[in-house]
């Protein structure tokens, strides 16, 4: 029986007022291994009507729709106690970023940026991201709820379309596979045996790397972290440019800590959280009795800018063992290499555990290389940061 559940594709309810977008997104889902379109809805009201019958594992949701938009849908979803994860499809505009953060505050799980606005005929550009994100949230929901969706009995008739539209939807999408260890082992030096490691004598900074599943994980983390934490916190959250400023503001509404998008030359002060801008790597620099934040538009590292590895490498160079490195939910291996550098230098390292991660990728790679001193839930990470910063502050 469990084997049958594992083989049942993750079902997706696509909610968008544009028939073109519903069709293009549907093609992406249908062309992906392990996914199936449960149904489509032209607004939030139709989606609510279809959820009890279709029992989707995940909902892809546009924001701007007639009759019931995405925000209204999320409010009604809360009232009805519907816990199916929702992934927002957001536009590029600043207003879109603000509304996206409102959607996260209302319980949306994550968001994906449409490449070129509300009607994006080039949606295939983020096709792999849609597939990987939907699979991550859908699998987690399926394991937690034991949901058995009502799958379509037959393929819906294919509407004739312009050849140019068909061309951009023909690509087959294969779910990203997270290897147990990196294929490039030379990039990951052996972990220093515990008995040979230097030990932290004081904590002067907390550096964090996080990706898929990060927005809600960070909302939870900073809502329970000690508001009197006496060190600066620098966070790399993989997020598009234009969204990190609003994300920082949204985090600031759930914590007593000061949270801002990092800027060139920012002075690092205790009790302040700096979110890496979506367009730049962030590094730190210590000079005598002060430390500052610096931005770089250098090439992406591990496919990302900002990159957690760039931050961790910089922190290792400037702080050595006198810091804490935290790696949390996310796909791939960004941050895993240089949290190992921190570990080998004697810094305290913390990884999010599999049970609480949406995608146990980045922390898994670090843990399996022996670089993680404490592997904890989100609540456990908050408690550990509270106690360690008090003990070594």
* 330: phi then psi, degrees, rounded to nearest 5: 165, 150
* 4: phi then psi, degrees, rounded to nearest 5: -65, -40
How far is CA 303 from its chain centroid? 14
**Catalytically annotated residue among 57, 132, 238, 338:** 238
**Catalytically annotated residue among 16, 334, 338, 357:** 334
Q: What does the H/E/C string look like for the chain? A: CHHHHHHCCEEEEEECCCHHHHHHHHHHHHCECCEEEEEEECCHHHHHHHHHHHCCCEEEEECCCCCCCHHHHHHHHHHHCCCCCEEEEECCCHHHHHHHHHHHHCCCCEEEECCCCCCCCCHHHHHHHHHHHHHHHHHHHHHHHCCCCCCCCCCCCCCCCCHHHHHCCCCCECCCCCCCCCCCHHHCCCCCCHHHCCCCCCCCCEEEEECCCHHHHHHHHHHHCCCCCCCCEEEEECCCCCCHHHHHHHHHCCCCCEEEECCCCCECCCCEEEECCCCCEEEEEEECCEEEEEEECCCCECCECCCHHHHHHHHHHHHCCCCEEEECCECCCCCHHHHHHHHHHCCEEEEECCCCCCCECHHHHHHHCCCCCEEECHHHHHHHHHHHHHHHC
Rg (CA), the chain: 21
**Catalytically annotated residue among 118, 211, 313, 357:** 211
334 noted as active-site residue? yes
Nearest to 64 by CA among 114, 25, 133: 114
Distance CA 384, CA 362 (A): 20
Distance CA 379, CA 359 (A): 17
Residues with active-site annotation: 211, 238, 334
């Amino acid at each position: 029986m469990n084997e049958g559940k594992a083989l049942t594709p993750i079902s997706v309810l696509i909610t968008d007022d544009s028939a073109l977008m519903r069709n293009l997104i549907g093609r992406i889902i249908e062309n992906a291994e392990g996914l199936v379109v449960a149904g489509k809805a032209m607004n939030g009201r139709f989606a609510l009507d279809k959820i009890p019958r279709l029992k989707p594992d995940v909902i892809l949701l546009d924001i701007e729709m007639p009759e019931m938009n995405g925000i209204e849908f999320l409010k009604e979803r809360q009232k009805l106690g519907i816990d199916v994860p929702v992934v927002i499809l957001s536009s590029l505009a600043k207003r879109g970023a603000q509304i996206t953060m409102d959607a996260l505050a209302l319980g949306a799980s994550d968001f994906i940026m449409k490449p070129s606005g509300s009607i994006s005929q080039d949606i295939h550009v983020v096709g792999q991201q849609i597939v990987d994100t939907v699979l991550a949230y859908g699998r987690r929901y399926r394991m937690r709820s034991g949901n058995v969706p009502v799958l379509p009995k037959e393929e819906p008739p294919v509407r004739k379309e312009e050849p140019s539209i068909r061309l951009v939807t023909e690509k087959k999408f294969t779910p990203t596979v997270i290897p147990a260890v990196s294929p490039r082992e030379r990039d990951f030096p052996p972990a220093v045996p515990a008995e040979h490691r230097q030990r932290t004598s004081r904590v002067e900074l907390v550096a964090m790397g996080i990706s898929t599943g990060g927005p809600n994980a960070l909302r939870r983390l900073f809502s329970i972290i000690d508001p009197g934490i006496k060190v600066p916190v620098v966070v790399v959250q993989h997020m598009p440019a234009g969204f990190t400023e609003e994300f920082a503001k949204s985090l600031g509404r759930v914590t007593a800590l000061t949270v801002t998008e990092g800027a060139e030359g920012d002075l690092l002060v205790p009790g302040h959280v700096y979110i890496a801008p979506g367009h730049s790597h962030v590094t730190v620099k210590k000079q005598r009795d002060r430390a500052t934040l610096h931005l770089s538009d250098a090439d992406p590292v591990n496919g990302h800018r900002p990159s957690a590895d760039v931050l961790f490498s910089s922190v290792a160079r400037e702080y050595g063992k006198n810091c804490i490195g935290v790696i949390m939910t996310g796909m791939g291996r960004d941050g895993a290499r240089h949290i190992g550098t921190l570990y080998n230098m004697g810094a305290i390292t913390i990884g999010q555990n599999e049970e609480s991660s949406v995608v146990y990728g980045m922390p898994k790679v670090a843990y399996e290389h022996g670089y993680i001193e404490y592997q904890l839930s989100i609540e456990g990470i908050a408690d550990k940061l509270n106690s360690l910063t008090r003990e070594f502050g």
